Amino acid sequence: MAENINKPVKIVDTALRDAPQSLIATRMSTEEMLPIVEKMDKVGYYAVECWGGATFDACLRFMKEDPWERLRKFRDGFKNTKLQMLLRGQNILGYRHYADDVVEYFVQKAVANGMDIIRIFDALNDLRNVKTAVAATKREGGHAQLALCYTLSDVHTLEYWVDLAKRIEDMGADSICIKDMAGLLVPYKAAELVKALKENVSLPIDLHTHYTSGVASMTQLKAVEAGCDIIDTAISPFALGTSQPATEVMVETFKGTPYDTGLDNNLLAEIADYFRPIRQRALDTGLLNPKVLGVDIQALLYQVPGGMLSNLLSQLKTLGAEDKYEEVLKEIPRVRADFGYPPLVTPSSQIVGTQAVFNVVMGERYKNVTKESKAIVRGEYGQTPAPISEEIRKKIIGDEEPITCRPADLLKPELATIEAQMKQWKEQDEDVLSYALFPQVAEEFFKYREAQKTKIDPTLVDADHKVYPV
C-alpha cells in the first residue's frame, strides 16, 4: 500500500525553451515572451526551462538576438522562480567537444547572468563527458541536474540505469533527470524505473518526456505515483505532439490527491490565453506543422524521435529516394546496434539516421561512411553503451586505434585563442562564448549588431532631409 502522505509534485514549465523548440523550431522572440513573464512568475512553478538546447543558436542565427541578453531579461522578470537550462556536457550547446576551459567559462557566465539549474547530459551517457560541467556548476553555486538519456536496448536494463544513477550521485549532482527525448518510456516501465531509482539514490527525480508516442501524460502519472518528485510540462498551446504533456492537464490530474501541485488553473488559463495567438500565427505561417501534433507510433516501433523522422524525410527527398523511407526506418535500429546502442539524441540521432540513409540508398551497408560515423566508432564522442564489434570497427576505421580516454583530455585549452580570433567584435565577455560555440553565426550576428548602431534615427532628420549626427 502506498503511504497516504502529502507529496506535492513540482512542475517545470518548458513553454520558453523545449516546447517552442519541439513545435516551432525555437522561433519565438524574447519580445514575444517577456510580456507574460510576470504572470508566469506568480504560478509557483518549481522552475521554468527557458535557455540552452537549440535556443542559443536560434537566437543568434534566426532571431538576430543576443542569447545572453535574453537570459538577463528573464532573470530580471522571474523574481520568484528558478531558471533552468539544458547543457550538452562537453559539447556545451554546440556539436563538438570543447576544451575544459571553455566549458568552465560558459558555466561561470551562465550562472553569473542568472541561471539556477543546469540540466547536463551526454548523448552516450558517458559520465566522463559531464564531469567538467558538473564541477563547474557546483563551484559557481548552481544546481547541477544530471540526465539519464533514456533509451531501449538489450544493454539498457534496470540495472544499467540504477548503476548510472548511483555514479551520478557519487559525482555530486543535486538531482537526476530521466530524459526521455523520444517518448519511449511507457507508463508501467516508468513506475518500475522511478521505484528502482528511489530505492537506490537519495536525489530528487525529475521526469522529462515527449508526447510523440501518445503516452506521456500516463507515463508522468505512473512515475509520480512511484515517487517521482518533479515533472516537465508545457502550457497547453505549446503542449502535446512532439512537445510535453499540458501543464493544466497534469495540475488537474493531481488535484485533491497527495500529489496536488497547488497550482491555480485559472492563472494557467490566462497564461494559455497569451500563448494561443502565438501558436495560431505559427500554424498560419506554416512554422507549426500539424503533422508534429499527432501521435506517431513509429517512435515506439523504431525508437526514433519525432524530429529525427522529419530530418530523414527531407534527406530522402533531397536524394530522390522517398520510396526508401520504410527501409531506412528498419535500418536505423541495425546501425544503432552496430554503433554500440547510443541513445538517439543530438548528435547521435543525426549520425545514426544519416548513416542508415546512406546504407539503404547506396544499396550496400557502410559503402559510404560519414565522417561523423567514423568519429563515433573512433571514440571521439566517448564510450558507447555497448562495445563496437571488431568487424564493424575494421569496416569503418580500418586499422586505426580507437580513442579510449575521455575525448576532451586530448584538447588543449582554447579560450585565449578564441578570444584573440574575435577580439574586434567583443563588446562583453559573453561574446567570446557565443563565438566559441558558433563562430560564423556569431560573427554574422556581431556584424548585424554593429549595423544596427549606425542606422539613422528618423527623428534626427529635419524637413529638408538634413541628417543631424547622433
| pLDDT at residue 1, as a whole number | 42
The whole-angstrom separation of Cα 420 and Cα 407 is 25
Res. 313 pLDDT band, cuts 50 70 90: confident
Q: Find where cell 513573464 sits.
A: 37
- Choose among 329, 336, 303: nearest CA to 315: 329
Other C-beta atoms closer than 10 Å to the C-beta of 362 total 11
Q: Find where cell 509557483 sits.
A: 44
Which residues are within 8 A (CB) of 352 and not within 5 positions of it... i.e. 6 or more apart?
A: 332, 335, 336, 339, 342, 344
The whole-angstrom separation of Cα 254 and Cα 54 is 31
> What are 165-217's pLDDT values in tens digits?
999 999 999 999 999 998 999 999 999 999 999 999 999 999 999 999 999 99
**Contact indicator for 207, 232 with CB cutoff of 8 Å:** yes
Task: Give the mean pLDDT of the chain.
Answer: 93
| pLDDT at residue 303, as a whole number | 78
> What are 314-340's pLDDT values in tens digits?
788 889 998 998 899 899 999 999 999
Average confidence (pLDDT) over 442-470: 67
Radius of gyration of the chain (CA): 23
Res. 3 pLDDT band, cuts 50 70 90: low
Which residues are within 8 A (CB) of 114 and not within 5 positions of it... i.e. 6 or more apart?
A: 71, 72, 74, 75, 83
Average confidence (pLDDT) over 246-267: 98
Sign of CA dihedral 299, 165, 81, 77: negative
More confident residue, 269 or 296: 269
- Choose among 153, 154, 155, 231: nearest CA to 190: 231
Which residues are within 8 A (CB) of 83 and not within 5 positions of it... i.e. 6 or more apart?
A: 47, 48, 50, 51, 71, 74, 75, 114, 115, 116, 117
Res. 458 pLDDT band, cuts 50 70 90: low
Backbone angles phi, psi at 108, to 5 degrees: -60, -45
> What are 222-246's pLDDT values in tens digits?
999 999 999 999 999 999 999 999 9
Print the SS3 string covering the chain: CCCCCCCCCEEEECCCCHHHHHHHCCCCCHHHHHHHHHHHHCCCCCEEEEEECCHHHHHHHCCCCCHHHHHHHHHHHCCCCEEEEEECHHHCCCCCCCCHHHHHHHHHHHHHCCCCEEEECCCCCCHHHCHHHHHHHHHCCCEEEEEEECCCCCCCCHHHHHHHHHHHHHCCCCEEEEEECCCCCCHHHHHHHHHHHHHHCCCCEEEEECHHHCCHHHHHHHHHHCCCCEEEEECHHHCCCCCCCEHHHHHHHHCCCCCCCCCCHHHHHHHHHHHHHHHHHHHHCCCCCHHHHCCCCHHHHHCCCHHHHHHHHHHHHHCCCHHHHHHHHHHHHHHHHHCCCCCCCCCHHHHHHHHHHHHHHCCCCCCCCCHHHHHHHHCCCCCCCCCCCHHHHHHHHCCCCCCCCCHHHHCCCCHHHHHHHHHHHCCCCHHHHHHHHCHHHHHHHHHHHHHHHCCCCHHHECCCCCECCC
Print the SS3 string covering 322-333: HHHHHHHHHHHH
Res. 470 pLDDT band, cuts 50 70 90: very low
Tell me the three cell numbers of residue 259. 500529489
**Contact indicator for 231, 224 with CB cutoff of 8 Å:** yes
